[in-house]
Amino acid sequence: MARMQTSNHALSRQQLILLVLLTLVWGLNWPVMKMSVADYPPLTFRSLSIWLGVPVLWLALVVMKVPFRLPRKHWPELVWLAATNMFIWHGCIILAIKALSSGRAAILGYTMPIFSAVIGVLLFQAVLSRRGWLGVSAAAMGVALLLWHELSNLAGKPAGVALALVAAATWALGTQLLRRTQLPVPTLTLSFWMTVLTAFVMTALATGFEQSQWRMPGAATWFGIGYNAVLVFGFAHAAWFFLARSLPPLASTLSVMLIPVLGVATGALWLGEVLHWQDFAAVALMVVAIASVLWPSKAKAA
């Protein structure tokens, strides 16, 4: 199989295809989630999506003959990985989407690569190359540009902004931990059990805070639940965990920076969210961020 040799890692064709599919699924999901929770309790929406996604993921493991067993001694680490990669992220970001526009929630959520790079340097003694720092700087500038015209709106919604940034920072830590885990089980097994644990956590939160708001979802909410169950929890999370374990942290995080760009664009098309010149300038910066870690330093066939 042909492989692209980056400065730090050989990016296989399989990884490249997964990155493209992941970008499409997650990028389109931002306006889908915004429409779904417009008049529906967000934590309940998230709970239903995850519970319906669990059988999809279970079926994938059965078809691919991936073992479900995880030795009891590894469960404490699994819970910690689930908390940093999924519990806090899903709880905080779905509440942020309720408060903010879908595009701006996506932008704030995808400050994750910046947090990841800083956490890697501060906590894990990671050393960034000049290309790595270029990527982080370009991503940071892109986020700043995309937020340019939103500062006045965000100032009136500090809770939504704080929730999105907490979600991004925690996910960044989780990505670093997932990359370094030594758990001797397939990535799909980890994905399945983290998803199951997250379903219980989201259900507990929805029961505690939204039970009085429970009702049958409308058509738009059902569409969002189905989209998230099959494509997000059935495919995207497993694909992301695979990439996070197989690619270096900086490459895996910066490589998905086009997701908020797609989220902003689809939010403008579907929901009428207004775009500015900063949005288009940010596209170029996101491309620079991705190219800085994924552009091949030399061609190589394996």
pLDDT reported for residue 33: 97
pLDDT reported for residue 149: 60
The two tokens of residue 223 are: 């569409």
Helix, strand or coil, per DSSP, at residue 301: strand
List the domain range (segments joined by +) for residue 14: 2-301
Among 213, 199, 251, CA closest to 6: 251
Chain segment 135-183, per-residue pLDDT in tens? 788 878 877 776 776 665 555 577 888 899 899 999 999 989 988 888 9
Q: What is the pTM of this model?
A: 0.84
Sign of the Cα torsion 11, 249, 193, 216 reads negative
How far, in Å, CA of 99 to CA of 102, rounded? 9
pLDDT reported for residue 248: 66
pLDDT reported for residue 294: 60
How far, in Å, CA of 186 to CA of 184, rounded? 7
Q: In Å, how far from its chain's centre is CA 148? A: 23
Sign of the Cα torsion 170, 171, 175, 178 reads positive
The answer for 125, left when phi > 0, alpha when psi is -120 to 50, beta otherwise, is: left
Amino acid at 184: P
Among 217, 259, 221, 219, CA closest to 239: 259
> 223: which residues sit within 8 A by CB, 6+ positions away?
32, 35, 36
Task: Please write down the long-range contacts of 210-216, taking CB distance under 8 Å and 24 or more positions apart.
Answer: 210/41, 210/42, 210/43, 210/44, 213/41, 213/44, 214/41, 214/44, 215/40
The two tokens of residue 284 are: 């170029």
Find the radius of gyration of the CA atoms of the chain. Answer: 19
| Torsion, Cα of 85, 90, 95, 100 (10° steps) | 70
How far, in Å, CA of 57 to CA of 192, rounded? 6
pLDDT along the chain (302 residues), means of 10: 43 80 92 95 97 95 93 95 96 94 85 83 81 80 72 66 92 90 90 96 97 95 96 90 74 69 87 77 74 58 41
Among 196, 236, 254, CA closest to 51: 196
How many structural domains are present in the chain? 1
pLDDT reported for residue 275: 73
Other Cβ atoms closer than 10 A to 29: 24
Query: Are the C-beta atoms of 254 and 286 separated by less than 8 Å?
Result: no
pLDDT reported for residue 2: 38
pLDDT reported for residue 96: 94
Burial class (CB in 10 A: 0-12, 13-18, 19+), 77: middle
